[in-house]
Structure 1
């Protein structure tokens, strides 16, 4: 019996909001503290480096998505342009990295919305709720993303206004604070901040659910990226100039702490609502993206075949979504927020390295952007990956090796059976 197919229901606006829901929520309330701890005010340079690398990756993803409008993102592109092993490494890196991102977003939501001591149970409940939203169809995912993005951007605007109104410490931007972490610290902050930009991948992984994907997906990726970059730049300056780099590094909620300096009694509630909404928006889109990549990998039997199923009524990869949700719940129970961000960045940087290599190989009508962008993106991914905190690098290498071993053993078993 033929499995039902995914349906093309999303337009340009839907795709942009899904990407924004991932990027705006994926780091704007969570990533400043570890980045400031690594680089001080130099995180602003790190943000610029992360944005340059991310733009190279975004254009590579857009170019590939136009040529291969299918589910799976760089997993599918790597297989088509470079071969099955490249595709597997990209897909596995994406799945493990984005499952860690899901855990980070669930924990961020709980940090802002849950009573003390209830953070992990609330994070688990959020994962279950948003998995159910995704289950009932991709148009519901897009509709929820629109609402969440509007709420979170409104809260950020209020928080930034409040922060700027509070004034600045005199020493927040000096040669000493900019160079506090040295070159290595700035690169490490860039690797951590890259976590914030990776949401455009969610658009590419939904290539079988977007109308006119060859036109819509490249445009949506670039539009969502540019909007997110502007938001991050403004928030970074507001947080650093209000609190100073040391206070940002030690804060568990730097955006809320910066806004609180204004003395406005109501601002804390607004920021917490916005942070909760942004985290939920990111989690919603992340679960959708991970499940689509897992679905594509299962279709090629690079993951267990039972994940290759589409719900007959709702037309979503429901088994892959349930498997992704189960893995996220496990991580929520085991990891902290900073560890999840570093591990996620490693997996996603590996994914985009493959995207840049695949886009570099494209020729003729498939080429839309300069080759230099793919070179910058590819080299940047490798540099940022190896300068992440060593714990994240070691954990990432181990988990990637486990995936490679699994595929090698599966292929060996298939050869023996033949």
Structure 2
């Protein structure tokens, strides 16, 4: 009996909103504190570096997605252009990194929405609820993403306006402030801020569910990236200006605290609603993206074949979604937000390094962007990965090693 197939139901607008939902929630409310802790006001330089690297990666993903409109993103591209081991490393890096991102977004939602002491139960409930939304079909995912992005951007606009109205903290942008973290601190902040941009690939992982994917996916990736970059730049300046780098570094809710400096009594509720919505939007798209890559890896038997199943009615990879949600729930129960961000960044930077190498090999009609973008993206990924907090690097290398050992044992067993 043939397994049901994924269906092409998403247009350009759907794809853009899924990408925006992944990016706006993935960083704009969560990433400023660890980045400021690493580089202070220098996080603005880190943001620029992260944007350059991310744009190289975005164009590589767009170029590859046009040539290979299938589920799995760089896992599928790496296999096609470089070989099965490259594809596995990319797919494993994506799955472990994005499951950590799921945990980070669930914890961010709870930080803004849950009563004190109830953060982890509320975060776990969010993972379960949004897995249920994804279960009932990709069009529900796209509809929910549109609503969440509109709410998030509206709340951000109000919060940024409030933060700017409070006036600037003295000395936050002094001539030497941009370099206060030093070269290493700035690169570390760039690696952490890269976490905020990584959502554009969510569109590519859903290549079997987009109509006219060779045209739609590249356009959606670039549009979503440029909109998100503009949002991040404005929010970064607003938060640093209102609080100063020291207060941002120590804050668990930097956007809400920056807006509160205005004295507007109602702004805290608005920002909290926006932060909660943005985090849920990112979590919704993350679960969808991780499950599609898990499904693609299971189809090639790089992960257990039981995960290679499509629901006969809703046409979603339901077992892969359940597995991703279960792993995210475990992380929510045991990790903190900052640790999840650093670990996620390592896995995703590894994923995009493979994407850049794969795109570098494309020739002829498949090439859409200059080779220099792939070179910058690939080198940038490696540099940012090794300058992340050492705990994140060690944990990332260890978990990648576990994945490589798993596949090697599976291959040997299969040959035996």
After TM superposition, the score normalised by the length of structure 2 is 1.00
Corresponding residue number in structure 2 for 1:273:
273
Corresponding residue number in structure 1 for 2:314:
314
Corresponding residue number in structure 1 for 2:289:
289
Corresponding residue number in structure 1 for 2:243:
243
Q: Which moved more, 1:177-186 or 1:215-224?
A: 177-186
Corresponding residue number in structure 2 for 1:326:
326
Corresponding residue number in structure 1 for 2:229:
229
- C-alpha distance in structure 2 between counterparts of 1:90 and 1:328, whole Å: 19
**Is the 1:95–1:294 Cα contact (8 Å) retained in structure 2?**
yes
What pairs up with 1:114-193 in 2 under 5 angstroms?
Answer: 114-193=114-193
Corresponding residue number in structure 2 for 1:88:
88
What pairs up with 1:208-219 in 2 under 5 angstroms?
Answer: 208-219=208-219
Q: Deviations over 1:369-406 (max 9, x none)?
A: 00000000000000000000000000000000000000
Corresponding residue number in structure 2 for 1:401:
401
- C-alpha distance in structure 2 between counterparts of 1:12 and 1:179, whole Å: 40
Task: Quote the RMSD (CA, aligned, Å).
Answer: 0.4
- C-alpha distance in structure 2 between counterparts of 1:240 and 1:219, whole Å: 32
Corresponding residue number in structure 2 for 1:65:
65
- C-alpha distance in structure 1 between counterparts of 2:286 and 2:30, whole Å: 16
Corresponding residue number in structure 2 for 1:105:
105
- C-alpha distance in structure 2 between counterparts of 1:247 and 1:336, whole Å: 20
- 1:179 deviates by 1.7
- C-alpha distance in structure 1 between counterparts of 2:146 and 2:379, whole Å: 34
- 1:181 deviates by 1.2
- C-alpha distance in structure 2 between counterparts of 1:215 and 1:368, whole Å: 12
- 1:176 deviates by 3.7
Corresponding residue number in structure 2 for 1:384:
384
Corresponding residue number in structure 2 for 1:371:
371
- 1:180 deviates by 1.7
- C-alpha distance in structure 2 between counterparts of 1:65 and 1:323, whole Å: 25
- 1:14 deviates by 0.0
- 1:178 deviates by 1.7
SS of structure 1 residue aligned to 2:209: coil
Corresponding residue number in structure 1 for 2:196:
196
Q: How many residues matched? A: 416
Q: Deviations over 1:291-322 (max 9, x none)?
A: 00000000000000000000000000000000
- C-alpha distance in structure 2 between counterparts of 1:109 and 1:176, whole Å: 35
SS of structure 2 residue aligned to 1:98: helix
Corresponding residue number in structure 2 for 1:335:
335
- C-alpha distance in structure 2 between counterparts of 1:20 and 1:170, whole Å: 33
Would you identify which runs of 4 or more consecutive aligned residues in structure 1 move more than 4 Å?
Answer: none
- 1:170 deviates by 1.6
After TM superposition, the score normalised by the length of structure 1 is 0.99
Corresponding residue number in structure 2 for 1:361:
361
